[in-house]
Structures are given as structure tokens and as C-alpha cells.
Amino acid sequence: MIQVTNLFKKYGKSTQALKDVNFHIEPGEFVSIVGQSGSGKSTLIKIIIAEEKADKGQVVVGGWDITRIKEREIPTLRRQLGVIFQDYKLLSKKTVFENVAFAMQACGFKQKDITKTVHQMLALVGLKDKENRYPHQLSGGEQQRVAIARSLVHKPKLLVADEPTGNLDSINTREIIDLLKKINNLGTTIVLVTHNKDVVNGLKSRVITLDNGVLISDQSQGRYLL
Amino acid sequence: MISFFRVIKFAFQGFFRNFWLSLVTVTMMLMALFSTTLLIGIDYIKEATLEGVNKKVDILVSLKVDTDREDVELLATDLETMTEVKKVTIITPEENRVLYEQSNLDEQAKKVLEIFAPDENPFGFSLAVQANNLSQYDAILSFIGQDKYKNLVDNSDFNDFDTFVAKIENLSKVINKYSWYVILAFLLISIVVIFNTIRISIYSRKDEIQIMKLVGAGNWFVKMPFILESILYAVASVALLIVVVYPIINFIQPSLNAYFQDVNVINILEYFHSNFFRIFGLQFLVLALINILSTSIAIRKYLRI
Ligand SMILES: Nc1ncnc2c1ncn2[C@@H]1O[C@H](COP(=O)(O)OP(=O)(O)O)[C@@H](O)[C@H]1O
Ligand SMILES: [Mg+2]
């Protein structure tokens, strides 16, 4: 599902964010990426969703070599991925329903299909009764669930999440992680960047550890090292 | 086609759901439009004033007292054949006397008439000659100054008139030159202000743009609602402009009439009415164009994600 080979990324002249990173993720896996702040986790995610470009090396996502992806191909890539962020990234002037629908409208789906799928996804994340609220009328956990619903509408085979629970308390964190596990069980590959030791240890799945841009450990059934 | 309707819907949503931002943007645009309209109004008043002056100005050619009616009419006909001349009016000695009596000279000066008997008239014929425009009076004056008219014309007050015409003409030239600079400066300032207003408005919504891109929207799909929204700004500000401008011109029209003591010299209300589409339609088109361009330029860097 993801093949990263000899990946290098530098910001400016001096910040080496990723140094010779190599790993391979199979379809259906649930992989956690951990590491201290500034170790290059977000940079890795940004390269996977083509928000940043690699300096050297190769990145293949879902069989597609995106290392030299053209700007006009980027939307096509993103429509095959689900992405969630620490700050939810919801459109503040759109309702819950409209936020989730937007990802499908952008792809040109018919309104009938959109309505059906959006209701289905909002039910999955447990927000069926709040579809007419605006993001600021929701709690952090609820906002993140909206973002998850949005990331799922085009049925992605890969879901990447950059510290999705970073702004949440432990109960909400638990709910979000459970939701991600459920999605993984339905067959979606998940790459989860996190800081949270309990989350990583509770998952008992593969853990990739970055330190200063270098991949220092890659263990199946791993634990939080640092 | 579905996308097309969605884009329109998003444009309206963006306009109304960012109400305060839209209001600020539209207000800035309204001020720019208002300045331009003010200039258009001032330009019209200037033109109308010059035309009004032109209409009121004529050369008064006083003829020698003993000139015959036939000779006067001959001269009038000669003048009328000139292309520069618009109208020649013959003023009889009797009319001249009445005009003198009714003029605002002081009583002392008017008493001078008392030395003449009622049937004696110290005035001769006069001709009021009107040109098509101010610059033509020179030609008319030199025509009258020809030797063959020497024994008819009593040309004492020509010089004075000459300088008056020159002054008015000069003034009009200065105003024209000056107003071009002002209009140019205003247009430039307006364009800069509008461009920056749109830039700020787009900047304040850059997160929205980036989010749309991150969830897989194409550039066109993100950009079009913003472009349409910028056209809505133009629609709203021109509509508000019309609402603001008409009461103002209604309010100032009476004082303009009073200035010339004549309704038809400066009729700004009529001018705005008959040039409605030229004034407001053109401003709408130009503003919409500036908005579309500014939006396209301002949004570009946020789409690159
Ligand atoms: N846009 C950027 N410009 C310059 N430096 C950056 C940028 N983004 C990240 N960095 C730097 O790259 C390094 C890795 O950052 P990041 O990938 O965000 O780490 P993490 O997500 O693990 O906290 C850090 O030193 C950070 O300061
Ligand atoms: Mg990060």
C-alpha cells in the first residue's frame, strides 16, 4: 500500500527533516508512527498526501509512484486517500453535513449518492443527529469524528492520520482510536501518527519510530520506545 | 453541470456566511465606486457649465448711431454665412434704450438719458453674435474688424471681451488637464485598494482554501466560487452605489439650478438617467473584471498545496 525508499527531505538549507527513510506497508495494516516533536512525522505524512515533495528517494502509494507527481494529478491522489489532522481541518462556515458532503461534491458525485453516503458515514461515527450543526457547535471529539466521516466518503483504501487525538482528552481519544480500529477491521489500511504512549501500547500493532528524521525502529507488535 | 450549480451555490454561501467580511469588502468597493461616480458627476457639471457659459456669451457689436437698417441686416447676413456663427440677433435702438434703462447701472448714470427727448435716441443698432463654441470668437472678431465694416462698427469694447473669452477657454483647458490627472490617480488608487481588499479577504479564508485542497478538491472547484463571489461583490456594491447616488443628486439638483437660474443648464439628474448604463453598467463591468483578476491572482498561492 505504501512503499518508501531512501526518502530524504530538507527544509531550507539546514533542517534535514527526513534522512534515508525506508519502509513498506501492506494493505490492511494498522501502523503507528511515533517519535518526538520535530522528528519528521508530519513531514512524512505530507509527502504521502503530496502536500510536500521529496528531495530524494521514492514514494509509492497504492501502486502509484508519486515522487514526481504533477500538480494537476494531486486531487486524484487525495481522492483515493483519507486524511485526518490534529486540528480537524473542518470548514467553519459549512455544517457537519456540508463538510462531509464537500469531499464528494469535489469529486462530482450526484447529490442523491452524496446524501445517502453522508448519512451512512455520519451514522458510522455516531453523529447522525448533529448534521446541521456548525463545527464550532461541536466538541473536539465530535469535530474529529466529522473529519473521519469526511475522510471515508470516497471509500479510501488508505487512511492517514496525523496526531488525530493530539487535542483530545483521554475519553475522546479512546473513542477516536476505537473508531479507527473499526475502520481498519472493515479493510482500510491505517497510518496513525501519534505522541500518545497509551494509544500505541494499547494498539499492539506495528510501530515505526522516527528520531531526528531517521527511522530507528520498525517493529510489528511494537511498543512506544522513547 | 452538477459542479457548475454547486459552484454557484458555494459562491452564494460564501458571500452570505462570511457576512461581515463581505460587508467590509463591499464597503471598500462602494467607496472606490463612489469616488469614480463623483468624478463623473463633477466632469459633467464642468462640461455643462462651460456649455452654459458658452450659451450665455455672445459678442455685442455696437454699430454707429446713424447706420441704416439695411446695412445692419446686410452685416447680420454676412455674419450668418460664417460657419463659426450660430446665431445673430439684431437689437434695435429702441430695445437698446430699454435695456439701458433696465440695466443695473446706478440712477446717476441713467439720468444721462434725461437730456434726450423721449423721441430722441442716443443708441444705435447692435448685433448679438453667438458662436458655436468659445474658441471661434476670435475668428468672428477679426471678421467684424475688416476694413469694409469700419464705417458701420463702433468697436470700442472688443478688447475686453477678447481677454474674457481667453480666460474662460484657458480655465476650461486647465480643468480638463487637471481632471484627467485626478481621474487617473483615483482609478489607480481604487484598483490598488480593491486588489488589497480582495487579497485580505482571500487571506482570511486561506485555511478554507487549503482544507478544500487537502480533501481532494481540484483548483477549478475551489477557485470558481471565489471568482463568482467577487462578481457578487461587484453586483452588491454597484446596487448600493445606485441607492446612495440618486438621493444625493436629487438633493444637489436645486442648488445647481439656482446657480444658473435655469433648470436646463446643469441637469445632473437627467444626465445620470440617460447615461445610466454607461455610468453604472460600465463601472460594474470594470469592477467585476478587477475583482475576477484580483481574486485569481490572490488565490493562486493558497491553491498550491
Ligand atoms: N514548512 C517548514 N519549513 C521549515 N522547516 C520545517 C517545516 N515543516 C517542518 N519543519 C521542520 O522539520 C522538522 C520536522 O518537522 P515535522 O515533520 O513537523 O515533525 P513532527 O511532526 O514529528 O513534530 C522540524 O525540525 C521542523 O521544525
Ligand atoms: Mg507533527
User: Which of the four pLDDT bands, split at 50, 70 and 90, describes residue B162?
Assistant: low
CA angle A49, A55, A61 (to 5 degrees): 30
Burial of A104 (0-12, 13-18, 19+ CB in 10 A): buried
Cα distances from B121 to residues B101, B116, B125, in angstroms, run 12, 7, 11
pLDDT band at B163 (very low <50, low <70, confident <90, very high): low
Residue A114: how many other CB atoms lie within 10 Å: 20
Atom of ligand 1 nearest to the CA of A35: 22
The complex's ipTM works out to 0.92
- Cα distances (angstroms) measured from residue A192 to each of A26, A82, A83: 14, 12, 10
Query: What does the domain layout of chain A look like in residue ranges?
Result: 1-80+157-226, 90-155
Confidence of residue B263 (pLDDT cuts 50, 70, 90): low
Contact A107 B215 (CB under 8 A): no
Q: What percent of chain A has pLDDT over 70?
A: 100
Residues of A with Cβ-Cβ distance to B304 under 8 angstroms: 71
Specify whether domain A1-80+157-226 bears CATH 3.40.50.1000: no
Domains and CATH numbers, chain B: 2-53+163-303 (no CATH), 58-158 (3.30.70.3040)
The proportion of chain B whose per-residue pLDDT surpasses 90, expressed as a percent, equals 41
Closest residue by Cα to residue A190 from A145, A223, A160? A160
Q: Which of B2, B211, B219 sits opposite A91 (nearest CB)?
A: B211
Min distance B294 CA to chain A CA atoms (Å): 22
CA-closest residue to ligand 1 atom 1: A11
pTM for the full predicted model: 0.81
The reply to whether ligand 1 has any atom less than 6 angstroms from the CB of A41 is yes
Burial class (CB in 10 A: 0-12, 13-18, 19+), B183: middle
pLDDT in tens, A134-188: 999 999 999 999 999 999 998 999 999 999 999 999 999 999 999 999 999 999 9
Region A8-28: mean pLDDT is 95
- For residue A80, give the chain B residue with the closest CA: B216
Q: B43 with B117: CB under 8 angstroms? A: no
Pick B208 or B163 by higher pLDDT.
B208
